[in-house]
Chains A and B, each alone.
Chain A
């Protein structure tokens, strides 16, 4: 039970139930706090004058001048000429130098590597996607590919290596985020207890973070997707596998052993029990994931030659939308499963919204069906919606996970005093 009290003097008191720890506002900390606030204002408002910053922040004019001088030294703001005069000397207009550095996002998929590069304002400056061969996807090989591709991307955008200020990697696995260890990645061979963070850190000077991909997708939806402003929500992804990213009080909740939200193993009435092993997909995952839906469709198809051929799971739901009876039956069955999962999550967490994402989860027909089923539930209905970022949610979540710490590091007292 920690509480933070921020008074007008910028004093931050951090109280915990177990330890007493009080952080007082010495000048360097105050400067960092104020620099962070001014930078945020500048990012939000776009180019403006010091007088605008004084008005918006409530800080004194000398304080703003002082902090802006430090921000300029750190290369984070620059004057871009004079603005319109309101009588006196025309004011200098300041701008946030988002190109001062960049952050990189990497998504390791079952058969691809996705990469995204963004400036300090979170604007995309480059992206690429390469396919991952199963034969060459051992941890060291993937690390090499990541290092190479990120460097290529930096070179193409004319960013020197040292301007990369953070790298965040999303993996479809349980991750010990603190130590950067990938516990079990079932989609790739040889990925058990891999110290990916440590391995990647050898190739980069910036901090490297490894995180579960669904948790990152939830971050993405929180910062720039369908969960903006929602402090307590759940993001369910249904693609190859099934998982949930849980937001509690504005941040990801990972549980005691990093496995919170592993809903692929839930026991719901419509699924018979089966012993799951950690390296295997759970029963729900087997049915609800894209391969399960395709498998059901193919086996139905063998019985009835009337079934149209499909390429992916979403095609089956498209057929249901077009009125195909068999596809409708299959959709209804999967929606039943999903409604049970949604209900479980709603009962335990009572989130403001539950978002559905991933190749299968993001289908509007599935959402519609689930909403109908939930209306019949005895429990108050939870709001369910679709992911707004689709397949780019993981990468954007990774960018935003990298951004704030990167900015804070640039604003460290030692950097500001330089």
Chain B
């Protein structure tokens, strides 16, 4: 699944990195010309709410090194850019890759991202991030072409390339962590929408979610029940109801695990969450008629949640039953998607050089 077919260098001299070369390929038949992407490298960046991760890869997508840093104390755009620059420099040195070999960078951000203009429009996860021209800033800092994308869509690109949705043109990547959002692939392309907010289903109303409108800036109605914090709140309410000495300080995943070992309180929380998730998946699959949902994010990857949700979906007896599968890339999905997008960016630059 690589955009432009590449050939390996036929001679031992690597040639100048990044330069396009047109070589003839004997096995492809006489006179067949192919674009050679060279021996360049790309960088993928995942800007998370608490962690910044950077990965260096070659143009076959092989990861040569990873670097990460905390963004908890240093989340202003300027500081994050500086951190990325440090990470890139470190990775290039570690892998002995010359600076000029870097062809492109792609970065995923946890918020509404205008990927056409390269702007992070808004995010509630990083302080001070509003209308940040991330592409321009990163481009100026690293002096290479840059692509930016919303982190959930980035993860969807990753799953489509090397994960649970490999080669599937129509699927939904559903991330459930603190918040809930979906990356939607339709006919092999991402749906971004008019304001780049397609897939922001954390605000969806389904049976079981609060009917009253949430306050501005507060989590959406769906997130407030089955997002990580929502599940914990459900659990705490159950605990308060019984008054029995139970462990109150559990994560959503831990609560779901307890349900499988016969804890009735936890089972109640799991059932309620799974049923609401089933309604959500059902509604999304009615609109899009997609066959496959890939569940990701800290809460979404819980197996008990997936199994219980599947059971509810079966009870709905809907005409088209989507398949639920857990992300196979896990927390690396965004980073791998970023590498893929950076490779696309590098290749389209080479493509333009050829036709221009």
- Residues of chain A touching chain B, judged by Cβ–Cβ distance below 8 Å, are 1-2, 5, 7, 13, 15, 17-18, 20, 232, 244, 246, 248-249, 253-263, 265-269, 271-273, 275-278, 340, 343-345, 347-352, 376-380
Contact = CB atoms under 8 A, between A and B. Distances in A.
Contacts of B201: 347-348
8 contacts: A1-B3, A268-B205, A276-B317, A343-B203, A350-B192, A350-B194, A378-B213, A378-B215
A350 B355 CA distance: 34
A285 to B, nearest CB: 12
A256 B290 contact: yes
Nearest to A249: B189
A340 B213 CA distance: 12
B249 interface: no
A275 B288 contact: no
Nearest to A349: B198
A352 B194 contact: yes
A350 B193 contact: yes
A275 B318 CA distance: 8
Contacts of A255: 170, 288-290
Contacts of B186: 248, 253
Contacts of A378: 203, 213-216, 218, 220-221
A379 B289 contact: no
Contact of B207 (A246, A254, A268, A345): A268
Which of B186, B188, B317 is packed against the most chain A CB atoms within 10 Å? B186
Nearest to A174: B319
A257 B5 contact: no
B189 A18 contact: no
B196 interface: yes
Given A1-B189, A377-B213, A378-B214, A259 B200 contact: no
Interface stretch (B81-89, B103-111, B277-285): B277-285
A269 B289 contact: no
B187 A267 contact: no
Contact of A275 (B204, B289, B317): B317
A15 B3 contact: yes
Contact of B289 (A20, A232, A262): A262
B167 interface: yes
B207 A347 contact: no
Contacts of A268: 205-207, 283
Nearest to A376: B213
Nearest to B188: A1
A259 B291 CA distance: 11
A261 B319 CA distance: 13
Nearest to B167: A18
B213 A350 contact: no
A163 B255 CA distance: 69
Contacts of B351: 5
B199 interface: yes
B353 to A, nearest CB: 13
Name B's interface SS. Answer: loop
B198 A269 contact: no
B209 interface: yes
A7 B356 CA distance: 9
Q: Which 4 A-B pairs have the closest CB atoms?
A: A350-B193, A255-B289, A350-B198, A260-B289
Interface of B: 1-5, 167, 170, 182, 184, 186-189, 191-201, 203-209, 211, 213-216, 218, 220-221, 279, 282-284, 286-291, 316-320, 351, 355
Given A253-B187, A256-B170, A347-B203, A15 B4 contact: yes
A110 to B, nearest CB: 21
Nearest to A351: B194
Nearest to A244: B287
A378 to B, nearest CB: 5
Contact of A278 (B1, B170, B287, B319): B319
A228 to B, nearest CB: 16
Contacts of A246: 287
Given A15-B4, A256-B289, A380 B188 contact: no
Contacts of A376: 213
B218 A349 contact: no
A377 B216 CA distance: 10
B252 to A, nearest CB: 22
B297 to A, nearest CB: 17
A333 B220 CA distance: 23
Which of B5, B192, B205 is packed against the most chain A CB atoms within 10 Å? B205
Given A17-B188, A344-B205, 8 more contacts: A266-B283, A275-B317, A343-B204, A344-B283, A348-B184, A351-B193, A378-B214, A379-B203
Contact of A349 (B193, B203, B207, B220): B193
A17 B287 contact: no
Nearest to B280: A267
Contacts of A256: 170, 289-291, 320
Contacts of B198: 348-350
Given A249-B189, A255-B288, A267 B206 contact: yes
Given A18-B167, A349-B198, A378-B215, A254 B289 contact: yes
B230 to A, nearest CB: 15
A376 B221 CA distance: 14
A259 B184 CA distance: 16
B188 A267 contact: no
A232 B194 CA distance: 7
Nearest to A230: B194
Given A253-B186, A348-B198, A350-B197, A266 B286 contact: yes
A268 to B, nearest CB: 6
B205 A269 contact: yes
B5 A20 contact: yes
Nearest to A1: B188
Contact of A276 (B199, B288, B318): B318
